[in-house]
Amino acid sequence: MAVSGEKRQRKNNRVTLEDIAHYCDVSKATVSRVLNGHLNEFPVSEAMIQRVKGAAERLGYRPNRLARAIRNQRTSLIGLSFIHVDPHERSEDQISFDSHVMGDISNSIISHPDFKDYDLVLHDRVESADHPSQEGDFKSDLFEGMIYLTPTEGHREFLDVASSEFPIVLLGLIDGAEKKVPCIDINNRTMATRAVNHLIETGRKNILMLVPEKLQHVCCIQDRINGYHDALKENNIPESTEFLRTVRSLEENVAAFFSDLRCLDEIDGIFCPTDELAALCIPTLKEMGKKIPEDIAIMGFNDLPIARHTNPPLSTVRRPAVQQGRAAIDLLLKILNKEIPYEPGFHEIETELVIRESTRK
């Protein structure tokens, strides 16, 4: 006989399938079929499905992941791989990436409606010349699949590890990767070209590209550098090595850079491939007597919250991290659930320029 009224979970005891079965006055097998999605084995009424699920929620049931993994011979673990950065060596760009971009991507993954049966595990990978990644670096954590962030040309080992048995979805792009794995990204090169073209359309001709020193080897940054070159070439503007520079994204480093820059008075536009670096340029240049945008127009990239709070607000390129993360997990889950085959290719996420006061005519 079913027990009427609300039953409360026993203190300090994990709610089991037996508890739910007793609560609903049904068999443990019925509860298992409902909660594990095995409804094709035996018919279960919609009313009973809702009754069992409602009881599980009221009692605070949490599935036993280990038991499920052993039973189904699946771990239900998905890795989110990112580059390890020494905490003492982190720049403003890297701090912001961790707090905003990583947060947006991970939240978009775990909030996906079909992710409820999986767990997300952060995979902190080391990238150095003397530490090439091995297959075990990816597979030792028993992931069923992986979403791989911020690829670099110097570490392409993941391309040899990826397979239909261990699917990797790349959030980003490196040369030739789209021929081996599915890649999801905005077109960084095209959008950088559009950003620099915008500066040129406002009358700027002497455009400095200032690149974060710590990120210069990341492929999306390289694509943005190439986009800068493309824009100058399209507009027949001669290039100068003086106008493509790197700096560490810390306030004191940016201030020292501009103090020592001999060609500062020639510059009428600046393109930074990250908002954090562009935001650091604004107060430094204003302290040196430059008006933004009258003397120097400044364009960033990513459209992070900081871009809206600089003075003046920063023009930038929107990087839809939430949309990228959602597209990546949607694709990976369909692959893991055998809904689609594991196939290489490039899936472009559309984006746009965001024009604010830092580049107004």
Average pLDDT over residues 220-231: 97
Topology of 1-62 in CATH?
434 Repressor (Amino-terminal Domain) (1.10.260)
> Residue type at 128?
S
Query: How many helical (H) and strand (E) elements, i.e. helices and strands, does the chain have?
Result: 13, 12
Residues 33, 238: Cα–Cα separation, whole Å: 69
Would you state the structure tokens that stand for residue 200, as one six-digit string?
């040129």
**Cβ proximity of 247 and 261 under 8 Å:** no
Question: What is the band of 6 on the pLDDT scale with cuts at 50, 70, 90?
Answer: very low
Residues 39, 265: Cα–Cα separation, whole Å: 72
Domain with CATH 3.40.50.2300 in the chain: 77-186+321-350, 188-319+354-359
Residues 190, 221: Cα–Cα separation, whole Å: 12
The pLDDT of residue 1: 37
CATH class of 77-186+321-350: alpha beta
**Cβ proximity of 209 and 244 under 8 Å:** yes
Average pLDDT over residues 286-303: 97
**pLDDT tens per residue across span 129-170:** 666 777 777 777 789 999 999 888 888 999 999 999 999 999
**Cβ proximity of 187 and 347 under 8 Å:** no
CATH code assigned to 188-319+354-359: 3.40.50.2300
Radius of gyration (C-alpha) of the chain in whole angstroms: 26
Question: What is the band of 95 on the pLDDT scale with cuts at 50, 70, 90?
Answer: low
Domain with CATH 1.10.260.40 in the chain: 1-62
